[in-house]
Amino acid sequence: MILSAARTACVSFALTISYFTLLSSFASFLSKEVLTNLLREKLSFNGMVVTDATAMIGYNVALPRSQAIPLSIENGCDMILFNKDIDEDYTFMKKGLENGLLSLELSLIHI
């Protein structure tokens, strides 16, 4: 299996089309079902999970960026690929902690 040798997985729109559209209306990088249940548990992937490029339109269509940034980490991504404004994304992460979109314990795991 390809993932058994990989150390990093970029969760892209391609995975959304091939698997996740059958399960929910969210993109794969926002899906705990895909990132945790499928990738981590079923496929036993134990490397770094990176979002799709967050500056691209595909990332910003599913949810407002202010929600998508913290939810990507909360639902299983370890790293955000690219950004539009690092200070703004940092603020989204802080607000995500404040409003419950991002749990402190999971954010510490993904750091």
Active-site option among 52, 78, 87, 89: 52
Distance CA 26, CA 93 (A): 19
- How far CA 12 is from CA of 98, 102, 106, in Å, comes to 28, 21, 21
* Catalytic residue status for 52: yes
How many other C-beta atoms lie within 10 A of the C-beta of residue 84? 11
Q: Any idea which residues carry the catalytic annotation?
A: 52
